[in-house]
Amino acid sequence: MAKFDKLKVMNLLAQAPMVPVFYHKDVEVAKAVVKACYEGGVRCFEFTNRGDFAHEVFAQIVKFAAKECPEMAIGVGSIVDPGTASLYMQLGACFVVGPLFNPEVARVCNRRQVPYTPGCGSVSEVGFAQEAGCELCKLFPGDVMGPNMVKGLMAPMPWSKLMVTGGVEPTEENLKKWFSAGVYCVGMGSKLFPKDRVEAQDWQYVTDKCREALSYCHK
């Protein structure tokens, strides 16, 4: 069961509007990354469903975070079907993110009051997702659409809450472009976790990079 409901997750995102996106098959590495992000001010963390037995790693992360990162909402990403969404919610996912919009995923998430953030590539898709109860929609891939897509969408639909993933970097110039355009929050993966830093277990780097990036995440 999710530790936090929709309202709490949205409030956490308002407080710290950056979601690290990460996957690793090693449970201990994943735990260390979650803890490093938490110490850097992150309050919503997306573990992606991308490897074999990823759900088993996820289950351990949720238990770890409950003790070590009490104000962290752990969610799952790369979800494209309702069965997988249900599996992760049973393991404690506080939010579900996908690269596409599947109304059946919205249905199972709404039943459990778990926020579903689908990937949308057009104004119409955002509109359909909002009709299905998605309070936060992900513009994906962000590096293809760019900040102008956010501005263009927000003009006729100013009530929209948008997260952008893809093309987001932990720099002042990049993040200010997105937030000035009107995004609610951003998702960020490899730029926060360079492979060499993870291999070196340089968790202080991750903490410092998260803290720095969050300092730029304001409109």
Interval 10-22: pLDDT, tens: 999 999 999 999 9
pLDDT: which is higher, 136 or 190:
136
Residue (of 10, 60, 14, 53) closest to 35 by Cα position: 60
**In this model, does residue 139 exceed pLDDT 90?**
yes
At 76, give phi and psi (nearest 5°). -120, 145
**In this model, does residue 65 exceed pLDDT 80?**
yes
The CB density around residue 27, as the number of other CB atoms within 10 Å, is 15
**In this model, does residue 97 exceed pLDDT 70?**
yes
Q: In what side-by-side order are the strands of the sheet with 96-97?
A: 116-117, 96-97, 73-77, 44-48, 18-22, 185-188, 162-165, 137-139, 119-120
What spatial distance separates the first Cα and last Cα of the chain, rounded to whole Å?
A: 33
97: β partners: 117
Quick one: pLDDT at residue 167?
Answer: 87
Q: What is the pLDDT of residues 19-45, one digit of tens each?
A: 999 999 999 999 999 999 999 999 999
Give me the CATH code for the 6-210 domain, please.
Answer: 3.20.20.70
Q: What is the mean pLDDT of residues 162-187?
A: 96
Tell me whether strands 44-48 and 73-77 are parallel, antiparallel or unpaired: parallel
Q: What is the mean pLDDT of residues 132-138?
A: 98
Q: Quote the pTM value.
A: 0.97
Q: Over the Cα atoms of the chain, what is R_g?
A: 16
19: β partners: 187
Beta carbons within 8 Å of 76's beta carbon, 6+ residues apart: 46, 47, 48, 49, 58, 85, 88, 93, 95, 96, 97
Taken in order 148, 151, 156, 158, the sign of the CA dihedral is: positive
Three-class DSSP category at 81: coil
Q: What is the mean pLDDT of residues 154-182?
A: 96
Percent of the chain past pLDDT 90, that is, above it, reads 97
Residue 128, burial from CB neighbour count under 10 angstroms (0-12, 13-18, 19+): middle
Mean pLDDT for the chain overall: 96
Q: What is the pLDDT of residues 195-214, one digit of tens each?
A: 999 999 999 999 999 999 99
How many whole angstroms separate alpha carbon 198 and alpha carbon 156? 42
Domain boundaries, the chain: 6-210
Q: Residue 141: is the preceding peptide bond cis (ω within 30°)?
A: yes
**In this model, does residue 219 exceed pLDDT 80?**
no
Residue (of 145, 147, 137) closest to 175 by Cα position: 147
Beta carbons within 8 Å of 193's beta carbon, 6+ residues apart: 20, 22, 33, 206
Three-class DSSP category at 57: helix
